[in-house]
Structure 1
Amino acid sequence: MPDTSPDAGAGPRRFGWEDMFVAPDEDPRIDPPGADERSVLAGELRYHRCTLELKCAGLDAEQLARRSVPPSTLSLLGLLRHAAERERHWFRRVMAGKDVSRIWPTGDVDEPFTGAVADPALVAQAWTAWRREVTFAERLVAEAPNLEVRGHRGDRMVSLRELLVHAIGEYARHNGHADLLRERIDGRVGR
């Protein structure tokens, strides 16, 4: 029976380029361009999206669905599904004003995490949904006349600028979770 304790498979902690997701000269993430505020914010968000994608790369359905520690439902697959839902909410609902349903409309707000099970079809669905929502969001940001465009977030109006800053913060926080999850799965670390 495999060891499922919190320290299972961790081995001795060490840091070196061989344990990193990618070596610096092979890193597909680029620093955000600094030409103007929109490109800085969009670039920073793109960087964090790519970071989440890197932290999930090369893992099978079981590894992606592996939970952190009981009773938490946190997993890389759950984070990916959650990111897809948030992208949909922020950019389709709030900024574009579209009346769209949740991607996983079970009525359970925690469905992205609780429904993240080791099923290759579910993993493919999560990647497809996330990429579709990211594509929509990138197009919306690129085509917006300015960062003061407003959308409805609950009972208040928010600007595209505020929403981009919020999205960057949420991705950054969840990428920290992804760091720990990935290190627990195979010992790989990264920034």
Structure 2
Amino acid sequence: MDTDTPAVSAADSRVRRPPTADERTTLVAFLGWHRETLRVKCAGLTAAQLADRVLSPSGLSLLGLVRHAAETERFWFRTVMAGEPFEGLYAGDGAFDVARADERTVDEAWAAWRREVEFGERFVDEARDLDVAGDEPGEGPVSLRWVLMHLLEEYARHNGHADLLRERLDGVVGL
């Protein structure tokens, strides 16, 4: 397995969020927490388990969530905030469309996610403030603050899905 793939242990590797901090530090810490939560939820599972669609009739899988998170990070930071042309990682809504997977597919998904998270982290670190704006095709101008809040919303919602998927896969709860 690639080093970007979560460890076999589901040990909690999340960094404590600061209870008193400025707005930027707080937003970045909470987003980091939720990013790491997705990794923790997937830790210790096989490629087949990560691709398993255990909530019929939904086609949702943990691997689909990882791929969707990579695509989401890419869109918001590269396209909207940095102004790069959108080049999707997966065709159409293919991020969620994972019926079967092998270790290579899993490693590639984690590597893509890590690349996009690192790009986003660099963008935030280099931004002069949270009022830096990008252009979202459907919304128009959006601030970095708005994007960070939106990503928090995205991860929180999908980590809830990950909770249900993980419990159905192997009974593990509360990660």
How far did 1:121 drift? 1.2
> Are 2:103 and 1:117 aligned?
no
Say if 1:163 and 1:116 are closer, same or farther in 2 by CA, change over 3 A. Answer: farther
Aligned equivalent of 2:166? 182
2:145 aligned to 140, 144, 161, which one?
161
Between 62-71 and 90-99, report the one with greater CA deviation.
62-71
Distance in 2, Cα, partners of 1:150 & 1:158:
5
Q: TM-score, normalised by structure 2?
A: 0.89
Aligned equivalents of 1:49, 1:116: Cα separation in 2 = 23
Note closer, same or farther for the CA distance 1:116–1:138 as it changes in structure 2 (3 Å cut). Answer: farther
Q: Name the SS of the counterpart of 2:141 in structure 1.
A: strand
Contact kept? 1:97, 1:152, Cα under 8 Å: yes
1:143-182 residue CA offsets vs partner (Å, 9 max, x unmatched) = 1000000001114100000010010011000000000100
Match of 2:15 in 1: 30
CA distance in 1, matches of 2:13, 2:64: 23
Matched, 1:71 2:71: no
Aligned to 1:112, what secondary structure does the other structure show? Answer: coil
CA distance in 2, matches of 1:31, 1:81: 25
CA distance in 2 between partners of 1:114 and 1:28 (Å):
28
Name which of 57, 74, 77 aligns with 1:91: 77
1:116 Cα deviation from its structure 2 partner: 5.0
> Following TM superposition, where does structure 1 have runs of at least 4 consecutive aligned residues deviating by more than 6 angstroms?
none
Tell me, yes or no, if the aligned pair for 2:54 and 2:169 is still in contact at 8 Å. no
- More relative contact order in 1 or in 2 (CA 8 Å, sep 6+)? 1
Structure 1 range deviating more: 64-73 or 124-133? 64-73
Tell whether the 8 Å contact from 2:53 to 2:60 is kept in structure 1 after alignment. Answer: yes
TM-superposed CA distance for 1:117, in Å, is 2.3
- The normalised TM-score by structure 1 is 0.82
Residue 47 of structure 2 corresponds to residue 61 of structure 1:
yes
For residue 59 of structure 2, give the secondary structure of its aligned residue in structure 1.
coil
Q: What SS does the corresponding residue of 1:157 show, helix, strand or coil?
A: strand
Amino acid at match of 2:144: L
Encode CA deviations 1:12-59: one digit per residue, 9 max, x unaligned: xxxxxxxxx54xxxx321232333111100000000000000000111
